[in-house]
């Protein structure tokens, strides 16, 4: 019996000449929190829609709880809960009524509906709001109710697509705690997508970095961070390309990556190496504009594998969206 609750092989989705999901293969273990980390347009939501039977793959295969997503679609749907980016609550109903309606849709018997509703409401701390109309809920409360709804039929896997998108920092943290709790208490496998580094770092046992429809690497957060060196030095100079050519001969530099306006170096004991870098630049008549050091994080890992920063990617996406909105 496999320990994997999700298994995919060469999963592909194309739209004409555009490939949204490009022959990805991965597995998710029972009981783990697994994350897809990538910018908007990376293929995260398309993958979730395929795995939840809302889209048919162009090629490849996938199994959820040992059910083929193409041949056993009803069995797959019985095994999963889904919380998509876009809200899907009836705001004219109370929280309890939303959950009761969902339970009826899944054929949950009346004798256990109330017990399940009380249980999931308590899990997401909405018991005292159960008889309040959803139109009076805050954004965070609505998100928590959607998570509760996704758990009503005791799914083996809960899919969360950008679960805290647009929420404030305090509410995001609260959602994380609820996700951790349901994973621990109910042993529910969680598959989430996110472009928030801190969210992936806090929640996920393992992460797949996905970009342009391709999975670039899958590993634990700690392993991903160490792949880029113990410390990260970011340096901007008057002649980055020339400076890099000299740095290639420095034995203690483990990794060098070039970016538009700076270089990043993977080194040990970064604080101790900064004076040596400045001295080398002075010897070569190169001006150091800025230099800093920090411990590696997931953004460094994303940068390492994709060649660009997630922060820059999000900024570019926001700029493009603002441009289109202003046209």
Q: Looking at residues 31-53, what average pLDDT do you find?
A: 93
pLDDT for res 95: 95
pLDDT band at 266 (very low <50, low <70, confident <90, very high): confident
Percent of the chain clearing pLDDT 90 (strictly above): 60
Please name the residues in contact with 323: beta carbons below 8 A apart, sequence gap of 6 or more.
none
pLDDT for res 21: 97
Q: Looking at residues 47-61, what average pLDDT do you find?
A: 96
Q: Is the pLDDT of residue 308 over 80?
A: no
Pair 90, 100: CB distance under 8 Å = no
Q: Looking at residues 59-65, what average pLDDT do you find?
A: 96
Q: Looking at residues 47-65, what average pLDDT do you find?
A: 96
pLDDT for res 84: 87
Domains and CATH numbers, the chain: 4-220 (3.40.50.300), 229-295 (3.30.70.260)
pLDDT for res 204: 95
Q: Is the pLDDT of residue 118 over 60?
A: yes
pLDDT digits (tens, 9 = 90+) for 161-183: 998 888 888 888 988 988 998 89
250-257, long-range: CB < 8 A, 24+ apart: 250/280, 254/229, 255/228, 255/229, 255/304, 257/303, 257/304, 257/307
Pair 117, 73: CB distance under 8 Å = no
Report the chain's mean pLDDT, rounded to a whole number.
89
Q: Is the pLDDT of residue 315 over 60?
A: no
Q: Is the pLDDT of residue 256 over 80?
A: yes
- Write out the DSSP string of 47-75: HHHHHTTSS--SEEEEEETTEETTT-HHH
Q: Is the pLDDT of residue 322 over 50?
A: no
* CA dihedral sign, ordered 167, 169, 170, 172: positive
CA distance 115 to 36: 33
Q: Looking at residues 255-283, what average pLDDT do you find?
A: 91
pLDDT digits (tens, 9 = 90+) for 169-226: 888 898 898 899 889 888 899 999 998 889 999 999 999 999 999 999 999 998 998 8
pLDDT for res 320: 44
Q: Is the pLDDT of residue 1 over 50?
A: no
Q: Is the pLDDT of residue 314 over 80?
A: no
pLDDT digits (tens, 9 = 90+) for 130-155: 999 999 999 889 999 998 998 888 88
pLDDT for res 321: 42
pTM of the complete model: 0.80
> Residue holding tokens 């799914």?
155
pLDDT for res 316: 53
- Write out the DSSP string of 178-201: HHHHHHHHH--EEEEEES-HHHHH
pLDDT digits (tens, 9 = 90+) for 236-251: 999 999 999 999 999 9
Q: Alpha helix locations (H) across the chain?
A: 44-51, 73-79, 95-105, 110-123, 139-150, 169-186, 197-203, 221-226, 240-247, 270-283, 298-306, 310-326
Q: Is the pLDDT of residue 319 over 50?
A: no
**Residue 203 is encoded by which pair of tokens?**
């929640």
């Amino acid at each position: 019996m496999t320990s994997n609750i999700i298994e995919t092989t060469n999963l592909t989705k194309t739209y004409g000449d555009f490939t949204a999901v490009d022959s990805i293969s991965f597995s998710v273990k029972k009981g783990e929190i697994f994350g897809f980390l990538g910018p908007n347009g990376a293929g995260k939501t398309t993958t979730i829609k395929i795995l939840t039977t809302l889209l048919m793959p162009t090629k490849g295969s996938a199994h959820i709880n040992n059910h083929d997503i193409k041949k056993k679609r009803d069995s797959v749907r019985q095994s999963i809960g889904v919380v998509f980016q876009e809200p899907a609550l009836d705001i004219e109903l109370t929280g309890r009524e939303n959950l009761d309606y969902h339970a009826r849709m899944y054929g949950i018997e009346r004798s256990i509906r109330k017990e399940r509703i009380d249980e999931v409401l308590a899990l997401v701390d909405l018991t005292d709001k159960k008889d309040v109309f959803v139109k009076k809920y805050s954004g965070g409360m609505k998100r928590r109710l959607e998570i509760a709804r996704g758990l009503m039929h005791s799914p083996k896997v809960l899919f969360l697509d950008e679960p805290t998108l647009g929420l404030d920092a305090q509410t995001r943290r609260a959602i994380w705690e609820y996700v951790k709790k349901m994973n621990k208490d109910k042993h529910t496998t969680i598959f989430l997508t996110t472009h928030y580094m801190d969210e992936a770092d806090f929640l996920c046992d393992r992460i797949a970095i996905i970009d342009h429809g391709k999975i670039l690497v899958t590993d634990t957060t700690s392993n991903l961070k160490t792949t880029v060196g113990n410390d990260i030095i970011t340096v901007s100079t008057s002649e980055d390309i020339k400076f890099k050519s000299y740095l290639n001969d420095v034995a203690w530099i483990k990794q060098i990556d070039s970016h538009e306006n700076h270089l990043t170096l993977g080194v040990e004991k970064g604080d101790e190496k900064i004076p040596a870098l400045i001295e080398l630049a002075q010897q070569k008549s190169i001006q150091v504009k800025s230099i800093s050091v920090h411990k590696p994080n997931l953004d460094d890992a994303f940068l390492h594998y994709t060649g660009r920063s997630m922060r820059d990617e999000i900024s570019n996406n926001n700029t493009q969206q603002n441009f289109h909105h202003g046209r």
